[in-house]
Amino acid sequence: MVIDFNTAAILAMVCWTIGSLLDLLSRKSAALKLPAFLIAFGGTMVMVAYIAIYWSFLGRPPLRTLGETRLWYAALIPLAGFLVEYRWKISWLKYYCMALAGFFLVINLLHPEVFDKTLMPALQSPWFIPHVVVYLVGYVLLAASSVAALHNVSLQLRSKKNDAGETAAHYLALLGFVLLTFGLIFGALWAKEAWGHYWTWDPKETWAFLSWLAYLGYLHAFRYKIDRGKLQWYLALSFIVLLVCWFGVNYLPSAQNSVHTYTQS
C-alpha cells in the first residue's frame, strides 16, 4: 500500500492538533482562521484518502470489522463538527469531534488487526453498504449530539445558558434518529434475505433497538415540552448506550450466540 495506517493516523492527528491550536489563536488574529480550517480539514482528508486506498487494497469495502468501522468514525466525526460550525456557527464542537476521532485512531494504533481480504457470503449483499453506512453516519451524528450536550451540561454547571448549543444538540439527535430508523429497518429487510427472519432479538439487534428507543424517548420528551436544559443530561448520557453498541456487545454474556460476532477483532 502507498501509505500505511500508522503514518496516516499520526499525520491526521498532527493536522487536527495544529489546526485546533491555530483556530484557538485565530480568536486574536482573524487571518489565521482559514489556514487553521485548511489544516484541520486536511487531517480529515488524510483519513478519507487512507480509507479509499485501503478499500482498493482490500478489494472490498472496509466495513467488516470493528477496527475498520473506527476508521470511518475517525474520518466522519470531524466532518460533522465542521458542518455544524458552517451551519450553526458553533465553533467549539469540532474540537471535541477531532479529539473523539483521535481516540478512535489511538485504539486502532494500539490494536493492529490482521488484514483479511475475505468477505463471508452473508455479507455479500446489496444491503451491506447502505445498512452499515447509514448506521455509521447516524452514530456519528448522535456522538456529535452527545458531545454538544455534554458541553451544554458543563456550561449549565457554571450557570451559563447556551441556546444555540442546545438547538444544535437537538437537531443532531433528530437527524441521528432518522438515520438510526433507516439503519434498523434496512437491517431487518437484509436479515430476512440472508438469515430468513427480519428480527430475532439477537444481542446486537437488541442493543440497536435500545439505542433507537433512547432517542425515541428523547424526541417525545422534547415534544412534551420537558425543560430543554434538563434534556441535555439525557442526551449526554445516551452516549453510554451508543458505546455499548459500538464496543460492548461482544463482551456481554448474551453475545455467545450472536450472528454478528464477525465484527469481532
Interacting residues toward ligand HEM by CB under 6 A: 216, 219-220, 222-223
**Helices 128-157 & 66-88 angle (0-180, nearest 10):** 60
State which of positions 217-246 bind another protein (CB under 8 A): 217, 220-221, 223-224
In contact, 205 and 178? CB cutoff 8 Å: no
Q: How far apart are CA 98 and CA 177, in angstroms?
A: 22
Compare residues 36 and 148 and give the one whose CB is closer to ligand HEM: 148
Q: Which residues contact 199 (CB under 8 A, 6 or more apart)?
A: 188, 191, 205
209 contact, one of another protein, ligand HEM, none, CB 5-8 Å limit per kind: another protein
From candidates 28, 30, 31, 120, binder to another protein by CB under 8 A = 120
Q: How far is the CB of 201 from ligand HEM (least distance, A)?
A: 17
Residue 157: name the closest of 239, 94, 230 by CA.
230
Q: How far is the CB of 156 from another protein (least distance, A)?
A: 20
C-alpha cell at 37: 480550517
When binding is defined by CB under 8 A, the residue of 125, 156, 250, 261 that contacts another protein is 125
Q: Which of 2, 56, 193, 264 binds another protein (CB under 8 A)?
A: 193
Let me know how long the chain is: 265
Q: Which does 213 bind (CB under 5 to 8 A by kind): another protein, ligand HEM, none?
A: another protein
Does residue 116 belong to the site contacting another protein (CB under 8 A)?
A: yes
Tell me the closest approach of the beta carbon of residue 214 to another protein, in angstroms. 7
Amino acid at site 74: A
10 Å CB burial of residue 218 (0-12, 13-18, 19+) is buried
Q: How far apart are CA 126 and CA 143, in angstroms?
A: 27
Q: Taking a C-beta distance cutoff of 8 angstroms, is the pair 76, 97 a contact?
A: no
Shortest reach from residue 135's CB to ligand HEM, in Å: 17
- The answer to whether 73 and 139 are in contact (CB under 8 A) is yes
- Cell numbers placing 36: 487553521
In 26-127, alpha helices (H):
33-58, 66-88, 93-110
Residue closer to ligand HEM, measured from CB, 88 or 222: 222
**Judged by CB under 8 A, does residue 86 bind another protein?**
no
Tell me whether residue 45 or residue 216 sits nearer to ligand HEM (CB atom). 216
Asked if 129 touches another protein (CB under 8 A), the answer is: no
Question: Smallest distance, Å, CB 140 to another protein?
Answer: 16
185 binds another protein (CB under 8 A): yes
Amino acid at 43: G
Q: Which is nearer to another protein, 41 or 209 (CB)?
A: 209
Q: What are phi and psi of 115, to 5 degrees?
A: -70, 130
What is the contact surface with another protein in residues (CB under 8 A)?
A: 112-118, 120-122, 124-125, 167, 171, 174-175, 178, 181-182, 185, 188-189, 192-199, 201, 203, 206-207, 209-210, 213-214, 216-217, 220-221, 223-224, 252-254, 256-257
